[in-house]
Structure 1
Amino acid sequence: MSPHSPLPQIAPITEEDIVEYLAQTPGFFERHAELLTSVQMVSPHGHRAVSLQERQAEMLRDKIKGLEQRVMDMVRNAHENAAIAEKVHQWGCDLQRIKVPTDLPDAVVRGIRTLFDVPQAAVRVWSVAPAYANAPVTWGASDDVRAFATSLTMPFCGPNLGFEPVGWLRGAASSDGSESNEVHSLALLPLRDGPMDRATPAFGMLVLASHDPHRFEATMGTDFLTLIAEMASAALARLR
């Protein structure tokens, strides 16, 4: 190399280089253990300097707190699900005790409002036996609603976009005195023979409604709503 040639440029050492070196040199801190006691870090709980060991202990405590919160949430959800399951069982038993088929629609709606704390509910069925063709539960379900019910393979949950079944709530008793025009969220449950996801035509629809816009949301789980729909379907099948 000529004495007048420029010196080669050396790339500066980056943090990534240091991390890579330490990862590839596991014995480094064994040979330089004094560094572990001299390293000072800023604590997230206040802005005081703490040792590396203290910072690791704080991180571990924070992780334990997060895990404890998750366990508490799981226990709470388990208790809530057990309570709902018990109410579903009670509701199913109440429906089986109904002797007169024409009493079933009111029993279905009344049980949902009282046991599950749903402000408003209504139900309509079609393709019923001739003896029940003029029952109030068969009134007001257009061909569009019937086709929509058949297209659903799971409960629909979301905001009130002016769905026709909301009109079924007018004149129906509500648990909180609210009117159908105050419905801000609802659940639409198709009624059909067999599991809800089966491609068989629906013979009815159950509408649950609330003035709370967050009561029935598109992102909510629908397992219990599906169970309610299947149990209501089994009970109201006696009208067919």
Structure 2
Amino acid sequence: MPNSFTSTSAIGSPITEDDIANYLANTPEFFERHAELLAAVHLNSPHSQRTVSLQERQAALLRDKIRMLEQRIMDMIRNVNENMVLSDKLLLWARSLLLNADALALPQLIADEIADQFSVPQVGIKVWGVAPPYATQPFALGVSEDAKSFATSLTEPFCGVNTGLEAINWLTEPQAATSLAILPLRPVMPGVPAANGVVPAFGLLVLASPDAQRFTSTMGTDFLARIAELASAALSTLR
């Protein structure tokens, strides 16, 4: 009695490579009955000009797969380590804000510590709507209504190339700013009215670098958002 592979139904329909592949995949005992084929069949090696047995080729494929998995594991470990380093730096930065007892020095402290902890070449900060004792301080002056509207329009940190936004003029060397991260600062206290579902911003943090790849439009902004939240919370003492 003919088996399924040599069925007469194949006479009118030529056997294809897919038919052979399906047969071998669904008939593993074929190689038990013909074990000699495992050593007899030779294939071109992807790593050299010589031919190798089916068993050797399978072993090479498995080694390649293992190398790929090892690389993925190493990438995961590297990402975990980088996240731990960033988390440690964020905690050190937050601690410096909690230890500060001088409200007037707070905005500059936030900028200086970001520059130091996260190796950002330039950091600028402006806040508005502050209490009268702080209204004449440099950090509360020189912000146009357009800049305030722009800050409120940001639903998340903006990252990208320097396009000449007003905020770069808050930096020490605006001409050296090639890429930017602009973080809106918003009240974190309950009961703050929202316009069209968006809480109005009361400040902006500007991070700048001469490296065009430091802050790109495709980068994730979750970590920057956490920085903005902590800075907003600390600056609530000025309002």
Aligned equivalent of 2:182? 188
Displacement of 1:17 in angstroms is 2.5
Partner of 2:79: 77
Q: Which amino acid aligns with 2:180?
A: L
**Does structure 1 retain, via aligned residues, the 8 Å contact 2:126–2:205?**
yes
Specify every segment of 5 or more residues in structure 2 that has no aligned partner in the other structure, as ranges.
1-10, 190-196
RMSD: 1.8
How far, CA to CA, are the matches of 1:192 and 1:78 in structure 2? 30
**1:125-181 superposed Cα distances (whole Å, 9 cap, x missing partner):** 111111111111112222222122112222111111222211111xx3xxxxxx321
* 1:89 Cα deviation after fit: 0.9
Answer yes or no: is the 8 Å Cα contact 2:168–2:174 preserved in 1: yes
Q: Aligned residues, how many?
A: 222
1:21 equivalent in alignment to 2:15: no
CA distance in 2, matches of 1:140, 1:49: 74
TM-score normalized with structure 2 length: 0.86
Q: Which whole-Å deviations, capped at 9, do the CAs of 1:99-143 have from their partners, x for residues lacking one?
A: 221101110110011111000110011111111111111122222
Q: Distance in 2 between matches of 1:217 and 1:207?
A: 14
Deviating above 3 A after TM superposition, structure 1's stretches of 4 or more consecutive aligned residues are: 9-13, 23-26
- Which one of the candidate residues 100, 114, 128 is aligned to 1:112? 114
Identity rate of aligned residues, in percent? 55
Using the size of structure 1 for normalisation, the TM-score is 0.86
- The match for 2:167 is 165
Per-residue deviation, 1:22:
2.5
Displacement of 1:55 in angstroms is 1.0
Q: Secondary structure at the match of 1:29?
A: helix
Post-superposition offset of 1:10: 5.2
Aligned to 1:175: none
Structure 1 unaligned blocks of 5 or more: 1-8, 173-178
Report the equivalent of 1:53. 55
What code does the residue aligned with 2:161 have?
P
2:140 to 107, 115, 138: 138
1:72-110 CA distances to partner (integer Å, 9 max, x unpaired)?
121122121111111111111111222221101110110
Measure the CA separation in 2 of the matches of 1:38 and 1:161: 66
Contact 2:135 2:141 in 1 (8 A): no
Amino acid corresponding to residue 90 of structure 2 in structure 1: V
